[in-house]
Amino acid sequence: MSDTLPKYWQSLAERAGDPGVLEQARNEFAEELPVGTAFAPPDASSRRDFFKMMGLSATAALVACNRAPVQKVIPYVARPDEVTPGLALWYASTCGGCSAQCGLLLKTRDGRPIKVEGNDEHPVSRGGVCAVGQASVLSLYDASRARFPALSCKRTTWAALDAGVTEGLRKASEEGRAIRVVLPWVMGPTAEAAVRRFLTAYPTARTVRYEPLGELAAIGDAYRVTHGARVVPDYRFDQAKVIVSFGADFLGTWVSPVAFTRQYVEGRDAAGKREMARHFQVEPVMTLTGAAADRRFPVAPSDLAPALGALVRKLAVKAGRTVPALALLPPPTLAESSIEEMADALWAQRGHALVVCGGDDVASQVLASTANALLGNEGTTVSLADGLALDVDALSYGELLAEVSAGAVGAVLFLGVNPAYTDPRGAELEALLKGVPLTVATNDRLDETATLARYHAPDSTALESWGDAEPRRGVLSLRQPAVAPLHETRSVVESLLTWAGAARSHYDFLRSRWEAEVFPKAGAAGQDFGAFWDDAVRRGVVTLSSATVEAPAFREDGLAKALAGVAHPSVEWELVLYPTVAVRDGAPANNAWLQEVADPITKATWGNQALIAPARAKALGLEDGAVVRVAVGGRSVSLPVLVQAGVHPSVIAVAVGYGRTKAGAVADGIGANGYPLAALVEGRVRRAVPGVAVEATGEKQPLALTQTYHRLEGRPHVREAELAAFLANPRAGNEVEGGHGGGNDKHPLSIWSGHEYKGHRWALAVDLSACTGCSACVVSCQAENNIPSVGRDEVLRGREMHWMRVDRYYQGDEANPQVVHQPLMCQHCENAPCETVCPVLATVHSTEGLNQQVYNRCVGTRYCANNCPTKVRRFNWFDYKHDDPLERMVLNPDVVVRSRGVMEKCSMCVQRVQEAKATAKREGRPLKDGDAQTACQQSCPAKAIHFGDLNDPASTVAKLSKDGRAFRLLEELNIGSSITYLTKIRNTGSGSGT
């Protein structure tokens, strides 16, 4: 039977040969939604019916004569000196999207930020930006953000709020009642200094560190056991020759995925280094990192710690060590041969190996720390000296609730955290806060927690405020605002200083702290602080030469206590609550770009699902869209099923971050909130929950999936090879009949006369070995090119507007398949099928090799989309309005906002090409390779995408197009794609020594 299955498949239905899948693929321009979906179109008239009644020729004439909407421009009365209309200003800054705090460059036009890019000078993130960072510019203009301070959810003034908060704090302090500040684990050195100033002003005040996903806290507590220091190490994946990950999605959501992605790709650069790190992944649910692994082992969540313990036991034997505490662990269900394989690979590369562990289980993190100590990895792949030191005096969130319940707390301040939504004790918090005299929230909107607080002091976003970060010890990253606060908001640092009786602007506090603490360590001899500060602001980052401290040594005395509670329950179902690469913990959920970008693994948009293994779904008679109720401890959620390859049979997985109720118009009511299902174990929240009940409700709910209507049709769109084969033959995996490495020679038989390019000839190259599928490129393209979000109903019709997508292909067993990701955009074909069929010549070839779309010629026949073999053109069905003046500010003025009825597609960011050419001309020099970068290329954390001039033999893209791994799509059709793909290389260990 295996011979009849396609080598690559995109969905389980396609793998099984479901005829409905093929029918769906043929119905490219579907009008009807899946049964049971209510929909009201933005426009009451049917364009297709209009075509039928009037005839195509009459319609074409009417549309062609229709003028575009009139827009008025308002000139400057007095132009600022630093602003040149039409030219961008760039500001170096730091991302506030998550605790990784990557370096950014913020692009502004006429005083408004319109695009986020990565800062190449930042030594940690090194120019990469994730999807959340890219989308932060849209969150800046979110109409649901708070626009003023509030008292009991009603508008007040900052003076009145400060007076009320200060009086409440004074009263609580005089009465000896506790003041508690609930804040994230990572805020930045200057913000932490403001917190310390506040704690000094109020002796009864203490911090409560809160993190919805619990991973940083678990790592810090584990190293407190094994090394006596509450620290998150600096992991160096580029130094590792063997990587073993137990549930850590370090390429997707774990700790610092942008930095780890760049390191990971460099360590696996087989073409450049002639060697490749080997990657093992042990996990219950297919993650972005698991999809990239050479060897992946699906296990139940309860088997992660026992399997990791068995691995540590084997490493201890190889090291000649005895670790008695390991005897407390139950035996694993993972095959001993698999554990032995990982242990042998790690031991062969001891000192340059790496074991990491995800999740919020301290015992598992303790085992990972022990494994790295036994392997001698500390100082190379794991550095405590360069790690992130966590607050050692902070209380836990459970301790806070106990204090509030006892009536001992007089004031609670929530600084940018939302436990009313992200904690299973949210309802308990709401009841308890009614008994606290003073409650304050600084969240950016009146969210689930802020609405419970008496005072709301809204914080400015990271794009509107000053600040700093220390993502790695000694690497200090500055954050500067790209725009003045759009609303009546205020930095949380200024609020803390005001309430502490030391009112000062955030900028002044930041600058004075840098002058006192940073300048003496980083300033050059003879340099004054003003010059140092200006250079630091310009570059966005400073590295301290004297930052390294002595790392604490490993100790075994706390292992027995840490491992004593590990159990292996025998249950039917285990729930896994996991974050997605787009919505993460739910904080950025009210962002349409993030809601609509497809999950890299499930390809789902606009909501979460209950992921179930194919074998389990067959046994229960469940199909995609069947609604199930997941219940535990009297709490339940109902979600549609998504049958997902690579899920362990005992697991049901639910993404968190959905089911918001007070996030805003975009996120409210999308999906279901999985946080209430989390377990409480000895006061700690655990996202792996054994013993849940799963019950089918008999209802159906259609899933807004992408990539379910594009078919491989048996063609080799992706190619791959084993490392040993590649080292022996650079064209390994690329010997496809009719294909050829290098792929830019014309087919000998052609009806085309061909193009001659006397100047530039633009092209792209995409390395499939480097691409992780993170989808940062998709969001970056959307931001750059003013691509609208269409909403769930239109995605259900297959009408998403993204100009590029990242296709995900499976190979092998549905229980544990291998995965390949392939970014797909307009191929800018030499022999473009779309150009020959357009009746109005709206799609044409440029003198520089680009396939161009002329919008004011296009009449919407869609012939070009029908004739496109790679299905990368998008028809704009509706006139997507930008009525909100605030949200309209995100639009890029270099790219026209399209009206309904035209075809859209990737332009290879021609506006960026023209800008680079103009800059080179002004500077009196020729255009250099790298001057022009597409949006997808610039944002890619893995640097998997390359853009350049094929006529420049020294350009990277020209060199890659002649590489032995190079191939083009559908070469047998002789379309002459300008996009070169490079074969994916795997290191499964078959015949290789690494």
Write down the pLDDT at residue 716: 76
Taking CA atoms, 947 is separated from 79, 121, 188, 764, 768, in Å, by 36, 20, 35, 5, 15
The mean pLDDT value of the chain amounts to 90
Looking at the structure, do residues 796 and 887 belong to the same domain, yes or no? yes
Residues 6+ apart with CB under 8 A from 617: 623, 641, 643
For residue 355, what are the β-bridge partners? 244
Indicate if the pLDDT at residue 2 is higher than 50: no
* Segment 70-77 mean pLDDT: 50
**Helix, strand, or coil (residue 91):** strand
Q: How far apart are CA 743 and CA 949, in angstroms?
A: 16
Which helix (H) or strand (E) element contains residue 312?
helix 304-319
CA atoms of 675 and 654, how far apart (whole Å): 9
Report the pLDDT value the prediction gives residue 32, as an integer from 0 to 100. 60
> What is the DSSP code string of 605-630?
-SS--EEE-HHHHHHHT--TTEEEEE
How many domains are contained in the chain? 5
Task: Tell whether 84 is covered by a domain.
Answer: no
CATH of the domain at 822: 3.30.70.20
pLDDT in tens, 635-664: 999 999 999 999 999 999 999 999 999 999
- Whether 59 shows a pLDDT value over 60: the answer reads no
Tokens coding 500:
């502490």
Per-residue pLDDT, averaged over 260-287, amounts to 95
Distance between CA atoms of residues 361 and 378, nearest Å: 21
Domain boundary among the residues 338, 357, 389 is at 389
Higher pLDDT, 31 or 921: 921
Check whether residue 712 and residue 826 sit in a common domain: yes
How many residues make up the chain in this entry? 994
Domain boundary among 363, 389, 415: 389
Is residue 887 very low, low, confident or very high in pLDDT (cuts 50, 70, 90)? confident
The residue-averaged pLDDT of 522-529 equals 88
Q: Do 134 and 169 meet the contact criterion of CB atoms below 8 Å apart?
A: no
Structure tokens at 272: 């450049």
Q: Which range is least confidently modeled, 277-286, 599-608, 868-877? A: 868-877
3-class SS of residue 927:
coil
Q: What's the pLDDT score for residue 72?
A: 47
- Sign (positive or negative) of CA dihedral 119, 122, 128, 130: negative
Please report the pLDDT score of residue 882 as a whole number: 74
pLDDT for 67 equals: 44
Q: In what order do the strands lie in the sheet with 979-982?
A: 945-949, 762-767, 979-982, 966-967
In the prediction, which pLDDT does 24 show?
62
Query: Rounded distance, CA 485 to CA 459, Å?
Result: 10
Q: Which pLDDT tens digit goes with each residue over 7-56? A: 877 877 777 777 666 566 556 656 665 544 544 444 444 444 444 434 43
- The predicted pLDDT at position 739 comes to 46
Q: Which position has the higher pLDDT, 575 or 18?
A: 575
Query: Looking at the structure, do residues 121 and 166 belong to the same domain, yes or no?
Result: no
Give residue 600's pLDDT: 96
Query: Which of 563-567, 573-577, 936-940 has the weakest average pLDDT?
Result: 563-567
663-703 pLDDT, tens per residue? Answer: 999 999 999 999 999 999 988 999 999 999 999 999 999 99
Q: Which two tokens stand for residue 577?
A: 């609550």
User: How far, in whole angstroms, is CA 520 from its chain's centroid?
Assistant: 37
Percent of the chain with pLDDT over 70: 90
Same domain for 837 and 719, yes or no, is yes
How far is Cα 480 from Cα 459, in angstroms, rounded to an integer?
15
Residues 180 and 240 in one domain: no
| Interaxial angle between packed helices 304-319 and 362-374, expressed in degrees from 0 to 180 and rounded to the nearest 10 | 20
Closest CA to 902 of 97, 40, 68, 276: 68
> Are 604 and 636 members of one domain?
yes
Integer Cα distance of 174 and 195 in angstroms: 20
In this structure, the answer to whether residues 436 and 458 fall within a common structural domain is yes
| Residue 468 neighbours by CB under 8 Å, 6+ apart | 94, 188, 189, 190, 476, 477, 478, 479, 510, 514
Residues 842 and 969 occupy one common structural domain: yes
Q: Which of 665, 700, 735 is the last residue of a domain?
A: 700
3-state SS, residue 104: strand
Are residues 533 and 575 both part of a single domain?
Answer: no
In the structure, what pLDDT confidence band is assigned to residue 550 with cuts at 50, 70 and 90? confident
Does some domain include residue 554?
no
Q: Where are the alpha helices (DSSP H) in 746-883?
A: 776-784, 792-796, 833-837, 863-867
Identify whether the C-beta of residue 377 lies closer than 8 Å to the C-beta of residue 312. no
> Is 901 inside any structural domain?
yes
Q: What is the pLDDT of residue 832?
A: 93
Pick from 987, 911, 954: which is nearest to 86 by CA?
911
Chain-centre distance for alpha carbon 453: 31
Helix (H, G, I), strand (E, B) or coil at 631: strand
Same domain, 517 and 649: no
Inside any domain, residue 964: yes
pTM of the model: 0.93
Which residue has better confidence, 888 or 242?
Answer: 242
Residue 993 resides in a domain = no
- Domain holding 429, by residue range, is 150-214+393-543
Collapse the DSSP code of 416 into the 3-class scheme (helix H, G, I; strand E, B; otherwise coil) and give the result: coil
State the pLDDT at residue 57.
39
Average pLDDT over residues 795-804: 94
pLDDT at residue 565 greater than cutoff 90: no
Q: What is the CATH number of the domain that holds 685?
A: 2.40.40.20
**Alpha carbons 898 and 850: distance in angstroms, whole number:** 19
Let me know if residue 978 belongs to a domain.
yes
**Do the domain assignments include residue 941?**
yes
**Same domain? 801 vs 924:** yes
Assess whether pLDDT exceeds 80 at residue 885. yes
Residue 290 to residue 281: CA distance in whole angstroms: 6
Task: Say if residue 131 is in the same domain as residue 37.
Answer: no
- Tell me if residue 96 falls in helix, strand or coil: coil
- Res. 268: pLDDT tops 90: yes
* Mean pLDDT, range 352-375, rounded to an integer: 97
Domain CATH code at residue 430: 3.40.50.740
Answer whether residue 221 is part of any domain: no
Region of poorest pLDDT, from 66-70, 89-93, 191-195, 706-710: 66-70
φ/ψ of residue 469, rounded to 5: -150, 160
List, in sequence order, every residue forming a beta bridge with 611; answer none if it has no partner. 642, 653
Do residues 430 and 452 make contact, with C-beta atoms less than 8 angstroms apart? Answer: yes
One-letter-per-residue 3-state SS of 951-980:
CCCCCHHHHHHCCCCEECCCHHHCCCCCEE
- The residue type of 859 is V
- 700-758 pLDDT, tens digit each: 999 999 877 666 666 778 999 999 999 999 999 987 654 444 444 444 566 677 788 99
What is the pLDDT, as a whole number, of residue 883?
75
Of the candidates 648, 643, 596, the one whose C-alpha atom is nearest the C-alpha of residue 18 is 643
Residue 52, pLDDT score: 40
- Give the DSSP per-residue string, 493-550: HHHHHHHTT----HHHHHHHHIIIIIHHHHPPTT--HHHHHHHHHHHSEEE-TT---P
Q: Which helix (H) or strand (E) holds 766?
A: strand 762-767
